[in-house]
Every structure is written in C-alpha cells, then in structure tokens.
Amino acid sequence: MGQTKGVQQAHIKRLRIFLALLEAAGIVSDMETPGSGLHALRGDLQGFWSVKISGNYRLIFRFENGNAYDVDVVDYH
C-alpha cells in the first residue's frame, strides 16, 4: 500500500483512506461515507462498485464474501 508511483499527489490521501476502508469492510455498504458517492456500475463495468476520489477519478472494485478484488483507479467519464 506504500507505492504511489503513477498516482496524482492530490489523490493519495483520499485513496489511502478508501483502501483502508476496503480492507476493513465486511459488506459493500461499509464504503458508504459522506462524499464517497458509492454506487454500483453498469454496462461494461457491471459488477463493480465505485467511490469518488476526485473530479473524474474513481476507485472501482468488486466485492464478494467480505472481500474486495479487481481494485483499480480509473478516469471513467
């Protein structure tokens, strides 16, 4: 979790918070914090969930049996 290469400096703090929340989450709704914008994705990303990092940047992930996987940061707008 210490690697920040390729991540915009402005996003690092918020991204670390969300990654810590993902690690501790038992259910996907544990990711629903004020301003997170947690929502299920549709279309090509159906099955993924998204939380807002900044601007167009989102942390996306799948969540199953209390575990997050396929975690990525994307600019999907």
40 lies in a domain?
Answer: yes
pLDDT tens, residue by residue, 53-66: 998 899 999 999 99
Residue with the bigger pLDDT between 17 and 77: it is 17
Task: Decide if pLDDT at 3 tops 70.
Answer: no
The Cα–Cα gap between 33 and 29 comes to: 9
What is the residue range of 59's domain? 35-77
On average, the pLDDT of the chain sits at 90
* Three-state secondary structure call for residue 2: coil
Whether residue 49 lies inside any domain: the answer is yes
Q: Is residue 74 in a domain?
A: yes
How many structural domains does the chain have?
1
Please choose, from the candidates 3, 67, 25, 66, the residue with its C-alpha nearest in 3D space to the C-alpha of residue 36. Answer: 25
Residue 39 lies in a domain: yes
In a domain? residue 2: no
Whether the predicted pLDDT of 49 surpasses 90: yes
Task: Tell me which of 62 and 8 has the higher pLDDT.
Answer: 62
CA-to-CA dists, residue 8 to 3, 20, 55, angstroms: 12, 18, 12
CATH number at residue 40: 3.30.2310.20
